Amino acid sequence: MIHSPTLTLESAMASLGHNSRLRLFSGSANVPLALEVARYLGIDLGPMVRKRFADGELYVQIQESIRGCDVYLIQPTCHPVNDHLMELLIMIDACRRASARQITAVIPYYGYARADRKTAGRESITAKLVANLITEAGASRILAMDLHSGQIQGYFDIPFDHVYATPVLLDYLKSKQLNDIVVVSPDVGGVARARAFAKKLNDAPLAIIDKRRQSHNVAEVMNLIGDVKGKAAVLVDDMIDTAGTITEGAKLLRDKGARQVYACATHAVFSGSAIERLSSGVFEEVIVTNSIPVPESKRFPQLTVLSTANLLGETIWRVHEDSSVSIMFR
């Protein structure tokens, strides 16, 4: 946590008054992560009642005064997406009606992000619809991590802080002291992400997998651009859903002579047959973060889950103190 090294009594009192307005609440989507963030900030999660009526309707009540406070609501919109999204909207509305000064929706994983444009006639751009819902509910600011596409920031007409789990993932990979690393993008669309990752990983070389998607969640690997023979290949993506794309990519890398294959992603969506594919032995290690909770039923020997709590906590502190967020990623 960043603090000023010297404070006069007057500035200390002003800072105390400013910080006392910070309130942190958690939805039901990822309470363990919210508790870690609260621990980093040195505060407690605010008391809140969440319950579900017999017909499935959700109920939220903030149980302390937040009038004039800067409220941060931690809620990834992960599975079940609709329930967690609706809970977030209700939390925002409750805070707005309780006269919070500013409401920041902290969304470690932004659901519906893949529906960010029309690819066929009569489709909804659901990522934009969700942005409208969150804004209309009363959010003042958004803090999200590793969006599927950066353009989603432009769907909001309120301040948006986009942070990256890259420092967390890079620190872990560097600690492994791997030799002859090549960073691999699992598709052409992820080249910019993989290139930035490779640059920060000691300017590692880059390879690209060219694939053609035949339908949703089904991918066919076609070709490899780059050399992976005898190298430790690190597949980098923003999320792992059914793991079809990244697993087929790993098999191709093995066929092309990679001595080890690592999967590295921020969001562990893990739908359908993902666990079976990821634990099949094609990966040396699957490295993800806790932006989405990973229950014991979805854990396997090759899985490593890294915490983003300090990253999110530091970002919240900087936003609250009106300090730069982007400097954290230089």
Catalytic residues: 211
Distance, CA of 115 to CA of 128 (rounded, Å): 8
User: Do the beta carbons of residue 46 and residue 66 sit within 8 Å?
Assistant: yes
Longest CA–CA span in the chain (Å) reads 66
User: Do the beta carbons of residue 113 and residue 152 sit within 8 Å?
Assistant: yes
Q: Which residue has the tokens 């562990």?
A: 268
Distance, CA of 265 to CA of 271 (rounded, Å): 14
Identify the three-state secondary structure at position 209.
Answer: strand
Output the six-digit token pair for 303: 């899985």
DSSP secondary-structure letter at 31?
A: H
User: Do the beta carbons of residue 143 and residue 163 sit within 8 Å?
Assistant: yes
The angle formed by the CA atoms of residues 88, 91 and 94, to the nearest 5 degrees, is: 150
Distance, CA of 315 to CA of 324 (rounded, Å): 9
User: Do the beta carbons of residue 226 and residue 205 sit within 8 Å?
Assistant: yes
Q: Which residue has the tokens 């980098």?
A: 236
Residues sharing a CB contact under 8 Å with residue 78, sequence separation 6 or more, in sequence order? 29, 30, 84, 109, 111, 267, 269, 292, 293
- What ranges in 182-308 are assigned the alpha helix state H? 191-200, 244-255, 274-278
